[in-house]
Structure 1
Amino acid sequence: MGRIRRWAPRVVGIVVTLACLIGAARLLWPQPGLDEQPGSTERQLAFVRDSLDEGSDTAAQELFPEGYVFSNVLYGLAWVQAAHTDSDLRENALRESRWALARIESDEGRAVFSPRLQPAYGVFWAGWTNWLRGAILSLDSTDTAEVQRFSTHTAEIAQAFAAAETPFLQAYPGQAWPVDSTVAMASLRLHDKLFGAKYATVIDRWLEQAKTGLDPATGLLPHQVSPVDGSMLTGARATSQTAIHRFLPEIDPTFAKSQYALYREQFVAYPGGFGPALREYPKGVDGSGDVDSGPLIAGISLSATVVAQGAARVNGDRDLAAAIGSEGELLGVPLSLPGSKRYAFGLMPIGDAFVVWSSTARVLTEPPTLFERDVHWWWRLPWLGMLALIAIAPWTWTLIRCGRHRATGPDRVGPAPTPA
């Protein structure tokens, strides 16, 4: 027992120090460029698929109303995005994304949405479903039945926008969020990209209407609006802004660039010197977290920060995308195995779905652009300093004892006796 007591602190210290060294290596490891993706993408997708087979989408539905759809649609979209970057993944991507689409269109996938809305089941369900179907067709458009379904559903969405007095359609009866309409509008643009311009008038009208309904405090699209006239109910928040900026470049690169600059200025923050990360509310505004943002830490939304990596990638913001990716490798506590990779020990598979969707993000409708604005050059230093302090902490008492020993010198002994 005595040996255990002596060695246990040393073993703990070694483990903590090694963990900090690994964390520092992950933070410093180069991130993939905008036209690349993480080498672990297939292993991340393998974990998400295994989780879906075990019912993680149904479990996510118990956390928030869109949990089932998001779990599946992000999985399917990540496969498509990955295949656009690596053509060797095409066959697997088509199989898995079609499987995900079928789950979204199942009775369980539509259960919480109203078929009485226009478009049917509301603009959230219709928009994400249509975007995934169009994304699949961007890989393979030889299935004439799927092409017809895409055309039919796109026409239904376009008609709903054309008939509405507001640019922001209802996702649920009596509730509307601009982000959902942004996704749906992107699916119209994707249709025009793949099969010829047909909805330019509807898209242009939507853009003009959206520009008149911006949040006056930030100049950005609001978080929630009145379903009657589109007037703002809640100002811009990062939870929706990060997804909006993932899709605006698909619709109108010029408008997207101006909006992204405002978003970057007002939501990217370095709390306590750490970051970059995404505030849930604009700078100067405080608020509480909810089911969308999750709990806020110093005003930061971890979920919005994850999705912000995808927004940065499609807006050509290389430095921010790389920084968020590096922070994810440090703070996400990734567990890499030969056949899978998961974050936060795999406790929240829907979080892994958001990570892989964001880390593979790419524009499907327009040529990529670049956003030239650096993150703070020193952003890694606070993280490295924190890791250094944690690594040293278990050895503090040992270091103090060594310092005292050197200061006082070795113990003195009396003079040797004089021989007789």
Structure 2
Amino acid sequence: ALAPAFARRFTPLGLACVIVLAATSVSQAQALIGSLPGLLGTAYGKLAIAKIALFGGLLLLACANRFRFAPRAETSGSARSLALSVALEAGLGLAIVAVAAALASRPPAIHEQPVWPFAVRPVPAFWDDAYLRDGLFRLLAPVATALALFVAALSLRKLRWPALLAGAIALAFVQIPPWRPYVVAAVPTSFQGSPTGYAARSIATGRELFQRDCARCHGADVRGRGPVAIAQSVWPPDLSAPLIAGRPGGELFWSIRHGVGPMPPAGQLDDAAIWSLVDFIRLRAGARIFSPSEMSWSGAARMPGFVARCVGGTIVVPGNGVPLTLRFGRDEPGAGVEVQVDGAGQRCAVEDPAPLAAALAEITASASAPALVLVDANGWLRRAFKAEGDGAPDKVASELAEIRRRPLEGAGLHH
């Protein structure tokens, strides 16, 4: 006879526990899963989905206990249904503990390469497109309004029927936009990123592979004008085009691995070699940021990865949270690269400087690396001075001030 009373009195404590669990789970998901591909395309994410499903089952049983089984037990005097529901709830809770243990024994999704399971993927940053944004607003605004009115109808008996009527009217204004503009074609590796970190050494390896295996069709300058290009049924694409720079690295990897059009699959290359090719192609696609004739800066390019060691053992890499200044010595090609950490007064030497010098020469479309390079806190190459005399101290100071004030977002070491 006391079971219904116990169930009612347990509701506040159970609700508080559920809110804490949900809040901490959202925080953990952001830190350990990070994105939709991580949730849908990794073993860790699939276990998290199972945990979410079990948690949803717990919530449904909790609602059934509170609004159906406990009131029925009060009126009928029998708590059998309530007892069975609580037992099932306890079983789901133990299952959640088991899934949590399995999650704790696996690497987080942010450290795995996701395998996208669908043939399409969402258009990146579609909210920035006015047409797509308007279509979503016409769909979601009436739906959100109707849901709010239906909740009010359940909560307020006096306004139940007016709220239900108003919710039905709101649903009548729903406009479902065509779904195709919101997605683009995808491959299983669409959301995978280069495990090399876009390193200068990987770019140098990719350049060697490209000249050996790809230049015959795509040309030494990657613009699709190789010596055998004219014999192809489809003219090879210009790999230095901005559209290539905007393609996900994982899709470039898939095209090289499996072939596209007349281009055969790269069956003889391992994954590491293909990622090196992707790094080189991404660098060449960013080389048009410079005007070859004027060497004038017209944008920003992602800085190739490197490691610099400072006195005292400090290690510096691009995108470490502070702007960097790189000076290239002219006595020996690719030697004597010095990195200065902004605001710390540290001068550091770059390990393996030759590949970095070669990569920067590719970006700036010149025969040698620029004399001075400025990199912002997020790893973007923001300014390059061709000759030492171009980088007057007052001009460098002005550029550094602008870089500190407006670092660019989203350089991302994995894409």
Which has the larger share of helix? Answer: 1
Q: Same fold (TM over 0.5)?
A: no
Normalising by the residue count of structure 2, what TM-score does the alignment of the two structures yield?
0.21
Which has the larger share of strand? Answer: 2
Higher Rg of the two aligned structures: 2
Normalising by the residue count of structure 1, what TM-score does the alignment of the two structures yield?
0.21
